[in-house]
């Protein structure tokens, strides 16, 4: 297949519904000679923070000289964003070649979109002979397609309410699904530190005799007054004066989880010096997650932001893009808005998938917004602007504007704002991807070169 043909073939698989279960995935991988058996892996589950932990691990290991694969989901605008080795994404030719091998091995077997991309990642990493592959769970953990691997380390970042239709209606049930990645004797690094979710994760680790390294008990992050932070790891290891470029208070915990995984990987032969860790943490980039930049309306390009939002340079607009789409993510976004930014008005561009808990996300952030612009980036699953407005109290309806397309929503946001204001785009990763593509272009080019 050529690249466009391969992408079209993959897109057709979206018509198959989510299928949780490992039997078909294991059987299919056997047809392509079980590439997962030739890989050393780290497996990451959790409600939020999986991508941040994964990209932090990748950046550290790359700095230390290791050839490291990264498989994440979903993507923002191009499916090739999901597949990365160090700072290079899969090229169009590599994508087409690997996808062709998988398609030709199907022999009429039905496979879902996520099963296909997971198989593609495993096969590409094995063919490229990576030193280590980092795999992010797509949904839950226990029955997720990625759970065919036996990793060196398992990570569970946190547990909160999300995907209840598939994972369960309580924290205990959701925690049980995520704890399903725990393997016999394999160490687990956990950001779950309190409550019933901790009980579930701890019990699963006891059952599997898997050593558990728990946030606040076995490792922690401590913010310093000088803007840096200190890491306190297992066995009393301390690394001080570490930088943090990712925004959000929760990123300290995510970074500490990643560093604890690095500590455990060193026991497996992946040595990393403190100096490489410091260098890497200053370079970590994760687009669409509390991503702040300024946009020149006249020249239509991203520009350096002034020191303060309180500037009278009218052609500039300040953007904050965040993929928060569940209650815990929205609370983190609000904390960052209140702590990290000073603005006159908050203009929000918002979209949501219709199967999300809109009441517990939109209604939390809406009172902070001077203007809320609803749009619909993905017509099959996205809630309509009219549906979104119906979730708001009548007292907030006068703040609402609607746009049929993402392009129209951005024009409205720019018209409603001035240089002292902040335009926040949130509620859906589909929306973030569409907005980022318009304002910043694609993350990855045809050859796999990234522009983060």
Per-residue pLDDT tens digits for 388-428: 999 999 999 999 999 999 999 999 999 999 989 999 999 99
Backbone angles phi, psi at 230, to 5 degrees: -115, 140
Tally the C-alpha atoms within 13 A of residue 172's C-alpha that lie toward its C-beta: 3
Check whether 21 has a pLDDT greater than 90. no
Q: How large is the average pLDDT for residues 222-232?
A: 94
DSSP-derived pairing of the beta strands 316-321 and 291-296? antiparallel
Check whether 332 has a pLDDT greater than 70. yes
Binned at pLDDT 50, 70 and 90, residue 452 comes out as: low
Question: What tokens were used for 94?
Answer: 């590599």
Cα(410)–Cα(425) distance, integer angstroms: 9
Cα(383)–Cα(377) distance, integer angstroms: 9
Domains in the chain, CATH or no CATH each: 3-281 (3.40.1190.10), 291-440 (3.90.190.20)
pTM over 0.75: yes
Cα(293)–Cα(254) distance, integer angstroms: 22
Cα(339)–Cα(162) distance, integer angstroms: 25
Binned at pLDDT 50, 70 and 90, residue 72 comes out as: very high
Q: Check: CB of residue 425 under 8 Å from CB of residue 289.
A: no
Check whether 314 has a pLDDT greater than 60. no
302 bridge partner residues: 295
Check whether 65 has a pLDDT greater than 70. yes
Map tokens 């007054």 to a residue: 225
pLDDT for 142 equals 92
Q: How large is the average pLDDT for residues 143-162?
A: 92
Cα(61)–Cα(83) distance, integer angstroms: 16
Check whether 322 has a pLDDT greater than 80. yes
Share of the chain above pLDDT 70, in %: 94
Q: Find the distance separating the first CA and the last CA of the chain, reported in whole Å.
A: 28
Share of the chain above pLDDT 90, in %: 77
Query: Order of strands across the sheet with 316-321?
Result: 301-303, 291-296, 316-321, 422-426, 346-350, 371-374, 400-402
Count helices and strands (H / E) in the chain. 15, 18
Tally the C-alpha atoms within 13 A of residue 39's C-alpha that lie toward its C-beta: 31
């Amino acid at each position: 297949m050529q690249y466009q043909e391969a992408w079209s073939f993959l897109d057709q698989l979206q018509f198959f519904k989510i299928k949780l279960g490992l039997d078909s995935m294991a059987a299919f991988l056997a047809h392509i000679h079980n590439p997962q058996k030739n890989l050393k892996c780290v497996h990451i589950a959790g409600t939020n923070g999986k991508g941040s932990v994964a990209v932090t691990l990748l950046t550290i290991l790359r700095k230390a000289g290791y050839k490291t694969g990264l498989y994440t989901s979903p993507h923002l605008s191009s499916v090739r964003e999901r597949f990365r080795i160090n700072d290079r994404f899969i090229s169009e030719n590599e994508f087409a070649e690997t996808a062709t091998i998988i398609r030709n091995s199907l022999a009429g077997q039905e496979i879902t979109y996520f099963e296909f991309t997971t198989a593609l990642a495993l096969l590409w990493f094995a063919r490229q002979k990576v030193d280590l592959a980092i795999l992010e769970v797509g949904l839950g953990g226990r029955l997720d397609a990625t759970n065919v691997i036996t990793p060196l380390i398992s990570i569970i970042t946190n547990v909160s309410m999300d995907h209840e239709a598939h994972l369960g209606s309580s924290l205990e049930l959701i925690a049980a699904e995520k704890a399903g990645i725990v393997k016999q004797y394999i160490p687990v690094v956990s950001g779950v530190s309190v409550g019933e979710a901790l009980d579930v994760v701890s019990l699963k680790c006891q059952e599997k005799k898997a050593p558990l390294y728990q946030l606040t008990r076995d490792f922690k992050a401590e913010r310093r007054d000088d803007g840096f932070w200190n890491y306190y790891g297992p066995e009393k290891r301390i690394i001080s004066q570490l930088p943090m470029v990712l925004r959000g208070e929760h990123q300290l915990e995510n970074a500490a989880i990643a560093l604890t995984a690095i500590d455990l990987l060193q026991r497996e032969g992946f040595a990393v010096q403190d100096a490489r860790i410091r260098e890497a943490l200053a370079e970590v980039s994760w687009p669409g997650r509390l991503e702040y930049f300024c946009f020149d309306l006249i020249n239509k390009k991203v520009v350096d932001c002034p020191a303060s939002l309180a500037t009278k340079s009218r052609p500039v607009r300040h953007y904050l893009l965040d993929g928060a789409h569940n209650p815990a993510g929205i609370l983190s976004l609000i904390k960052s808005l209140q702590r990290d930014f000073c603005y006159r008005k908050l203009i929000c561009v918002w979209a949501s998938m219709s199967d999300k808990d809109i009441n517990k996300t939109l209604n939390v952030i809406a009172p902070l917004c001077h203007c809320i612009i609803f749009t619909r980036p993905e017509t099959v699953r996205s809630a309509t602007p009219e549906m979104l407005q119906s979730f708001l109290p009548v007292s907030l309806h006068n703040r609402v504007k609607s746009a049929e397309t993402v392009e129209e929503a951005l024009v409205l946001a720019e018209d409603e704002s001035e240089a002292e204001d902040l335009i926040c785009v949130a509620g859906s990763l589909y929306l973030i991807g569409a907005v980022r593509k318009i304002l910043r272009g694609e993350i990855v080019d045809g050859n796999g070169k990234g522009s983060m």
